Chains A and B, each alone.
Chain A
Amino acid sequence: MSGSPLSRRTALRSGGAVVVLGAVVLSGCDLDPTSSSAPPAAAPRDPDQDIVEAARAELSGLIGRLSATDGAGSLVAVHRAQLAALDGSPPPLTQRARALSAEQVVTRERRAAGRFTHWSLTCANGDLARVLASVATGIRMQPVLRGASS
């Protein structure tokens, strides 16, 4: 069976390191009074940044609502692991989140699986695509969707 030369975390973090390094170099140029008066070029934007932020927000939203839902502890743990794979931080616990009904849980989980599949197909970075596809698959594996009629 084949393996992979790059881990997902290496890919995600190395992408971030490139952006940070670019910002440091550009800021150093700004301190040179003899440098050209042309405005510094902006650091190249990661084409997948919007997808990563949307993916983290999706999981954070699910964690927040499911944390207030009875019997959803295992799903919260699943989404926390998935959020960590995207280098996201879990949302702070608040008492404002409303619990979801059983039907709403199925609807939200199914919608999330579809979104992660879509993001895995549209992102530019292959290693990110693998993580997003794994999240989508992991959601579909959970009993809440395995036992629900589509």
Chain B
Amino acid sequence: MSEVDALQRTLAAEHAAVFVLGALGGRASTLTDPALRTALSAAYDVHLERRNHLRTMIAARGEEPIAAEPAYRLPAALSTREQIADEALRLQRACVVTYGALVAATAGTTRGWAVGAMTQTALTEADFGGRPQALPGLHGA
């Protein structure tokens, strides 16, 4: 996979993450769980920033950043705290795998940025009930 292809695939993942986290935040607003709302809001901000940075990196390489899909499929059952947290955790873990692929396809400062994003995303899994793993981002790679 070329570096630009990997960046585009990561951008596609971040488009999805921004959409899904926004939707999850909306669902969580009906719950009396400020910790979950805060975690979702913080994750949303981080993914939004990364999405914008990925767009900049791709454009700097003379390519057109791919656009977001009109909508993304959400699980039907998203009404309880556990369901919302589980979906957020699934999303974060998928992003860790995606950033692992970006690490593999890049070098230099871009790889350094990808490693940082991989680590930080994995560390936020705990906010959604995730347990520590020995090798995050490799399963599913």
Task: State the A residues within 8 Å of B (CB).
Answer: 1-8, 77-79, 81-82, 85, 117, 120-121, 126-127, 129-131, 133-138, 140-143, 146
Contacts and interface: CB of A to CB of B under 8 A. Distances in A.
A83 to B, nearest CB: 10
B25 interface: no
Contact of B123 (A85, A133, A140): A140
Interface in B67-125: 94-98, 100-101, 103-107, 111-112, 114-115, 118-119, 122-123, 125
B138 A126 contact: no
Interface string B124-137: 01100000111111
Given A133-B103, A133-B118, A134-B135, A2 B112 contact: no
B9 interface: yes
Contact of A1 (B94, B105, B138): B94
Contact of B6 (A2, A85, A120, A131): A2
Contact of B101 (A85, A120, A130, A140): A130
Contacts of B104: 4, 6, 126-127, 129-130
Nearest to B97: A1
A78 B115 contact: no
Nearest to A125: B104
Given A117-B115, A129-B115, A136-B115, 11 more contacts: A78-B134, A81-B135, A85-B135, A85-B138, A130-B104, A130-B141, A134-B137, A134-B138, A137-B119, A137-B136, A141-B136
Interface of B: 1, 6, 9-10, 12-13, 16, 94-98, 100-101, 103-107, 111-112, 114-115, 118-119, 122-123, 125-126, 132-138, 140-141
Contacts of A77: 134
Contact of A130 (B16, B119, B138, B140): B138
17 contacts: A1-B16, A1-B94, A2-B10, A2-B12, A2-B97, A4-B1, A4-B101, A6-B104, A117-B119, A130-B103, A131-B135, A133-B100, A133-B119, A134-B118, A137-B119, A137-B122, A138-B134
Q: Which of A1, A3, A5, A121 has the most CB of B within 10 A?
A: A1
Contacts of A1: 13, 16, 94-95, 97-98
A28 to B, nearest CB: 34
A141 B122 contact: yes
A117 B120 CA distance: 13
Given A2-B6, A141-B122, A120 B137 contact: no
Contacts of B115: 117, 120-121, 129, 133, 136
Given A2-B6, A141-B122, A81 B103 contact: no
